[in-house]
Chains A and B, each alone.
Chain A
Amino acid sequence: MNAGALAARGRFRHPVSAYDQRSAMLLLAPMLLVLLAVAVFPVVYSFWVSLFDLKLTRPLRVPFVGLDNYAHVLRDAMFWASVARTAAFTVMSVAAIMLIALLMALLLNEQFRGRRFLSAVLLIPWAIPYVANALMWKWIYDSGYGALNGLLYQLDFIDKYMVWLGDTRKTLALIANAFVWKEVPLATILLLVTMKSIPADLYGAAKVDGADVWRRFFHVTLPMLRPGFTLVMIYETMMAVRHFDLFFILTEGGPADASHVVAWEVYVETFRRLSFGTGSALAYIVALVTFLLAFSIIRTLGRKL
């Protein structure tokens, strides 16, 4: 029974050709397979695991505990403390990133000799791996021979070398600094791209209306920038909330839990305490929150994400 015969009977009402449907399915099949692996599988499986008390220290006894793991996590003061630290870290980082990226994007938006050079150089922090980034800053923060100490000492801001990462009051801020340094390039590029799409006519009209530089910035640039700005802010927030690498390499959650954020807690629970059940529940909670956050934003912003 071919499409023609079906069409003649008026039953084949769908305006999608069979050939196109087949082609699309074939072209899409690999991606669907991969996405099933990364979306459906982890979500379902980790939820399943979180319902059991699975500890790799005693792998043979795995009792079903239902939602107990979740209750345990949500009652744990450590968990909430880590949430607070994550929040502090995120707020600090995102604020700094957005500010610096905005300034840099404004600079790169201008036409001047050497701009291409700056654009190329900008990519360096983005390109290097977090491990190298961590090494670099660990060396700079070093209490014995670090550059930070050296610089401040030479400029007479301090009279002897201080401990930096080991100081619980400074730890989060220092890690945030390393994080910000690496994230700024991408944020800058995304903001720059948005800036470039602001129609030149708007500036022309503003100038004719008598607006000076500051006015033009506040009344043309900033408002037009808002959707892109929001997007980047959301993206960076999500990156900050789930960041792990720097915490592992620089401080391992210390000193005295000063940098013990949620991502670290998941790692410790799963791979140090080897409690996969609770680790799973923890990861699931974090993932769920991030996911819901992102999903609701995708919905409201449409497909611009």
Chain B
Amino acid sequence: MSASLHGIGRRALLFGASVLFLAYVLAPVAWMVSSSFQPETEITSVPPHWISHAPTLENFRAIFTTGEEAVTYETRRHGDPATGKFIPSTAKNLLPGMGNSLIVALTVVVLNLLVSVPAAYAMAKVRFVGRSASIYLMLTTRVIPDIALVVPFFLFIRKLGLLDHLGSLVITYLAITVPFSVFILLGYFESLPDELDKAARVDGCSRLQALLRVFLPIALPSLVAVTLFTFLTSWNEFLLALMFTQTPASQTMPIIVASFTSDFTISFSFINAAGVLAVVPPIILAVMFERYIVSGLTAGAVKG
């Protein structure tokens, strides 16, 4: 129960509030989606057409095929009717960019779990010298702003010769996601009963086996939440990728997309289509795993 009203007044209030809620959250995205289906000629109408009168998939087709068309003066002059001849010069890098983002994000997720899960378990369930020191270390590293990493990481990566290599992103993203993951997992593991751990060890599990066979299956919501956070952070990260990547070979999706805005031969419909493509994977992931996020963030209660 909560502080609530009753009756029709309540229903009306909730309905109105829900509408406002949905409008606030969805309207900008909906507009972007709508724009992405409009041909260039329509998209530049004043006032705008909120829903397209002549929807087209040309913008999306352009994204998937720009790599194949040679961008010469001729093709640009005649152009593609849908995109109105204004395709950003970096357009063909979008899909490879997304590919890079995917590779980096998946690698970081895997490495993150390998690093964070054992550490969180050890800090939650094992008594050892240096336990509180480790916890403090983990907490304080969480608050280091990205800005502080800029110079040292840049110089270091440059020295290693890893500039413009996906590996540099993997290393740095790992460094920034691990503190958060450990923090979440630690809270969750601590909420799991100690006696489960003891039972597992008396039953014949070493510490590692207890973690793998007993705790991991139970900690699923937390693991999902952490995976989701790590993936999204890596997928969305911008500043560090900007620093470490210089050529399309290693540029990730946010960099490519950002380059569209600075290209002065802009095609609005194309950009919106690119934006939609960029947001589709994260949205799908987030919505799919929505219920794990809350339960994974807060310590769950497990009765055994």
Binding site for B on A (CB under 8 A): 14-16, 20-21, 23-28, 30-32, 34-35, 37-39, 41-43, 45-46, 49, 100, 103-104, 107, 109-110, 112, 114, 118-132, 134-140, 142, 144-147, 150, 153-154, 161, 181, 185, 189-190, 192-193, 195, 197, 200, 203-204, 213, 216-217, 220-221, 238, 241-242, 244-245, 248-249, 263, 266-267, 270-271, 276, 279-280, 283-284, 286-287, 290-291, 294-295, 298, 303, 305
CA distance A298 to B285 in the complex (A): 32
Can you list 10 A-B contacts with CB-CB less than 8 angstroms, sorted by A residue number?
A26-B118, A32-B134, A38-B144, A127-B286, A131-B236, A136-B31, A145-B45, A266-B147, A284-B148, A294-B142
Chain B residues with Cβ below 8 Å from A31 are 115-116, 118-119, 134, 138, 178, 182
Known: A25-B128, A126-B286. A287 touches B121 (CB 8 A): no
Known: A145-B48, A213-B3, A217-B3. A295 touches B143 (CB 8 A): yes
Which of B147, B275, B293 interacts with A136 by CB under 8 Å?
Answer: B275
Among residues of A, the one whose C-beta sits closest to the C-beta of B25 is: A121
Known: A31-B138, A46-B151. A249 touches B261 (CB 8 A): yes
B257 CB-CB contact with A under 8 Å: yes
CA distance A34 to B285 in the complex (A): 27
Cβ B44 vs Cβ A39 within 8 A:
no
Cβ A42 vs Cβ B144 within 8 A:
yes
Chain A residues with Cβ below 8 Å from B87 are none
Among residues of A, the one whose C-beta sits closest to the C-beta of B45 is: A145
Known: A21-B129, A123-B290. A28 touches B118 (CB 8 A): yes
CA distance A226 to B257 in the complex (A): 40
Cβ A287 vs Cβ B144 within 8 A:
yes
Contact with A along B255-296 (1 / 0, CB 8 A): 001101100000010011011001100110111001001100
Chain B residues with Cβ below 8 Å from A32 are 119, 134, 137
CA distance A136 to B34 in the complex (A): 12
Which of A27, A110, A119, A280 interacts with B121 by CB under 8 Å?
Answer: A27
CA distance A35 to B176 in the complex (A): 9
Cβ A24 vs Cβ B232 within 8 A:
no
CA distance A132 to B258 in the complex (A): 8
How many of chain B's residues have a CB under 8 angstroms from any CB in A?
101
CA distance A159 to B7 in the complex (A): 43
Binding site for A on B (CB under 8 A): 1-5, 11, 14, 17-18, 21-22, 24-26, 28-29, 31-32, 35, 43-48, 114-116, 118-119, 121-123, 126-129, 131, 134-135, 137-156, 171, 174-176, 178-179, 182, 206-208, 211, 232, 235-236, 238-239, 242-243, 253-254, 257-258, 260-261, 268, 271-272, 274-275, 278-279, 282-283, 285-287, 290, 293-294, 297-298
Cβ A107 vs Cβ B18 within 8 A:
yes
Secondary structure dominating the interface of A: helix
Cβ B148 vs Cβ A46 within 8 A:
yes
Which of A24, A203, A283, A298 interacts with B147 by CB under 8 Å?
Answer: A283
Known: A109-B2, A110-B4. A130 touches B238 (CB 8 A): yes
Chain B residues with Cβ below 8 Å from A137 are 28
Cβ A45 vs Cβ B122 within 8 A:
no
Among residues of A, the one whose C-beta sits closest to the C-beta of B1 is: A200
CA distance A181 to B27 in the complex (A): 11
Chain B residues with Cβ below 8 Å from A144 are 44
Chain A residues with Cβ below 8 Å from B298 are 193, 197
Chain B residues with Cβ below 8 Å from A279 are 150-151
Chain A residues with Cβ below 8 Å from B139 are 298, 303, 305
For residue A124, give the distance in angstroms from its CB to the closest CB of chain B.
5
CA distance A216 to B3 in the complex (A): 6
Chain B residues with Cβ below 8 Å from A213 are 3-5
Chain A residues with Cβ below 8 Å from B22 are 118, 121
Cβ B145 vs Cβ A39 within 8 A:
no
Known: A120-B287, A134-B261. A45 touches B155 (CB 8 A): yes
Chain A residues with Cβ below 8 Å from B290 are 119-120, 123
Cβ A132 vs Cβ B278 within 8 A:
yes
For residue A89, give the distance in angstroms from its CB to the closest CB of chain B.
15
Cβ B238 vs Cβ A121 within 8 A:
no
Chain A residues with Cβ below 8 Å from B148 are 42-43, 46, 283-284, 286-287
Which of A132, A154, A203, A221 interacts with B47 by CB under 8 Å?
Answer: A154
Which of B31, B46, B175, B235 interacts with A161 by CB under 8 Å?
Answer: B46
Among residues of A, the one whose C-beta sits closest to the C-beta of B178 is: A34
Chain A residues with Cβ below 8 Å from B5 are 213
Known: A46-B151, A119-B290, A249-B258. A140 touches B31 (CB 8 A): yes
CA distance A221 to B4 in the complex (A): 11
Cβ B232 vs Cβ A39 within 8 A:
no
Chain B residues with Cβ below 8 Å from A142 are 268
Which of B32, B119, B129, B275 interacts with A27 by CB under 8 Å?
Answer: B119
Known: A34-B115, A129-B235, A244-B147. A153 touches B260 (CB 8 A): no
